[in-house]
Amino acid sequence: MSALLEIRQLDKHFGGLHVLKHFNMTLQAGEIVGILGPNGAGKTTLFNLLTGFIPADSGEVMLHGKSIRQMKANAIVGMGMARTFQLCRPFIGLTVLENVLVGSLGPRVKHHDLGERAMHLLSQVGLADKAQQASESLSYGDLRRLEIARALATEPELLLLDEPFAGLGSIEIEALSALIRQLHQQQHLTILLIEHKLREFMQLVSRVVAIDFGEIIAEGSPSEIVNHPRVIEAYIGKQNPLDWDPHA
Residue type, position 244, single letter: W
Smallest gap from Cβ 203 to other proteins, in A, equals 27
What kind and span of H or E run contains 148? helix 140-153
Q: Please tell me the distance from the alpha carbon of residue 77 to that of residue 68, in angstroms, as a whole number.
A: 10
**Binding flag, residue 43, other proteins (CB under 8 A):** no
Q: For residues 97 and 131, is the Cβ–Cβ distance under 8 A?
A: yes
Q: Which of 44, 45, 51, 124 binds other proteins (CB under 8 A)?
A: 51
Q: Which of 1, 66, 92, 243 binds other proteins (CB under 8 A)?
A: 92
**Binding flag, residue 101, other proteins (CB under 8 A):** yes
The three-class DSSP label of residue 13 is strand
Q: Among 15-23, 33-41, 74-82, 172-180, which window interacts with other proteins (CB under 8 A)?
A: 74-82
Q: Please tell me the distance from the alpha carbon of residue 74 to that of residue 82, in angstroms, as a whole number.
A: 9
Facing residues of 14 across strands?
17
Smallest gap from Cβ 45 to other proteins, in A, equals 15
Site string for other proteins, 118-157 (x = CB under 8 A): --------------------------------xx-xx---
**Binding flag, residue 105, other proteins (CB under 8 A):** yes
Q: Please tell me the distance from the alpha carbon of residue 241 to that of residue 231, in angstroms, as a whole number.
A: 8
Q: Please tell me the distance from the alpha carbon of residue 242 to that of residue 159, in angstroms, as a whole number.
A: 25
Q: Please tell me the distance from the alpha carbon of residue 2 to that of residue 17, in angstroms, as a whole number.
A: 33
**Binding flag, residue 40, other proteins (CB under 8 A):** no
Q: Give the C-alpha distances (Å, rounded to integers) separating 241 from 36, 84, 235.
A: 12, 26, 6
Nearer to other proteins, 73 or 236 (CB): 73
φ and ψ of 195, to 5 deg: -155, 150
Q: Which of 37, 42, 103, 222 binds other proteins (CB under 8 A)?
A: 103
**Binding flag, residue 115, other proteins (CB under 8 A):** yes
Q: How many residues bind other proteins (CB under 8 A)?
A: 34
Task: Summarize as ranges the residues that interact with other proteins (CB under 8 A).
Answer: 51-53, 72-75, 77-78, 82-85, 89-94, 97-98, 101-103, 105-108, 114-115, 150-151, 153-154
